[in-house]
Amino acid sequence: MIQVRQLTKSFGNLHVLKKIDAQIKRQEVVCIIGPSGSGKSTFLRCLNLLEEPSSGEVLIGGANIMDRQTNINAIRQKVGMVFQQFNLFPHKTSLENITMGLIKLKKCSKAEAEEKGRKLLEKVGLSEKADVYPRNLSGGQQQRVAIARALAMEPEIMLFDEPTSALDPEMVGEVLQVMKNLAQDGMTMIIVTHEMGFAREAADRILFMDQGTILEEGTPEELFNHSKQERTREFLRKIL
């Protein structure tokens, strides 16, 4: 589904991603862990062209996203993204936050968009909150609306960048549960997270990033219990 070859990204003299190779299979759930500043967010952002890679290749469903012929908006619809900060529109209700993209980008009628939006709210457990504004939702509820909004575009891949890091501890579980359900439905997902319990349970594979490279990868069992790299073990000791 995703092929990354020799991907590099630099900001001026700062070499943030150094020749990254990675492959993500359809329906695979991959968690990315690693220290702050190691390039995790930049890597995700390169996959949907929020950042332009400096060199290398990113193929999504076989199409090179850096080709001039490739339609950036089409890529962004195919690859949904959820951020640490939920970025909901404050002056729109939950339902409107979800239907906006459907009406503007997918050219749905208002009625069609609302029907779809309500189904998505149900999927994330927020049927009751359709007409509520973000300021009257908890952080966990806002993040679930953000997930529903991303799903509205019917992405083939979902990227999550520390989706629970801005949440109070008691709200982390409800968001992780929505993500687990998505994984069970067969969504292809890449998730940057510090939630090691979630990674262990939900990930098919874990990538450990360090200083702009994927230093080690493996199943949760391999990475958490039989890591080969001292840097990985050191990171896990600190975080667990």
Query: Which chain residues interact with Mg ion by CB under 5 A?
Result: 40-41
Angle of helix 94-104 relative to helix 110-123, nearest 10 degrees?
130
Binding partner of residue 36 among ligand ADP, Mg ion, none, CB cut-off 5 to 8 Å per kind: ligand ADP
Q: Does 38 bind ligand ADP (CB under 6 A)?
A: yes
d(CA 52, CA 91): 31
Closest residue to bound Mg ion by CB: 41
Six-digit token pair at 164? 């629970």
Stretch that binds ligand ADP, among 11-19, 65-73, 81-89, 116-124 (CB under 6 A): 11-19
**In angstroms, what is the minimal distance from the CB of 122 to ligand ADP?**
32
By CB under 6 A, is residue 36 in contact with ligand ADP?
Answer: yes
- Sole binder of ligand ADP in the list 28, 40, 188, 205 (CB under 6 A): 40
Q: Is 14 in the site for ligand ADP (CB under 6 A)?
A: yes
Q: How far, in Å, CA of 144 to CA of 158, rounded?
A: 14
42 lies in the binding site for ligand ADP (CB under 6 A) = yes
- Measured CA to CA, the distance from residue 48 to residue 11 in angstroms comes to 18
Instruction: Determine the Cα–Cα distance for residues 23 and 16; give it in Å rounded to an integer.
Output: 19
Nearer to Mg ion, 40 or 205 (CB): 40
Toward ligand ADP, which CB reaches closer, 40 or 118? 40
Strand order of the β-sheet with 55-60 is: 14-24, 2-11, 55-60, 63-64
At residue 228, the 3 state secondary structure works out as coil
The partner in contact with residue 186, picked from ligand ADP, Mg ion, none with C-beta cut-offs of 5 to 8 angstroms by kind, is: none
Contacts with 2 (C-beta within 8 Å, 6 or more apart), sequence order: 22, 23, 24, 47, 58, 59, 60, 157, 188, 190
CB of 40 to ligand ADP, least distance (A): 3
11 in contact with ligand ADP (CB under 6 A): yes
Instruction: State which residue, 137 or 176, has the beta carbon closest to Mg ion.
Output: 176
Question: Nearest distance from residue 130's CB to Mg ion, in Å?
Answer: 31
Amino acid at 113: A
Number of residues that bind ligand ADP (CB under 6 A): 10
Task: Confirm if 60 and 157 have CB atoms less than 8 A apart.
Answer: yes
Task: Give contact residues for ligand ADP (rule: CB under 6 A).
Answer: 11, 14, 16, 36-42
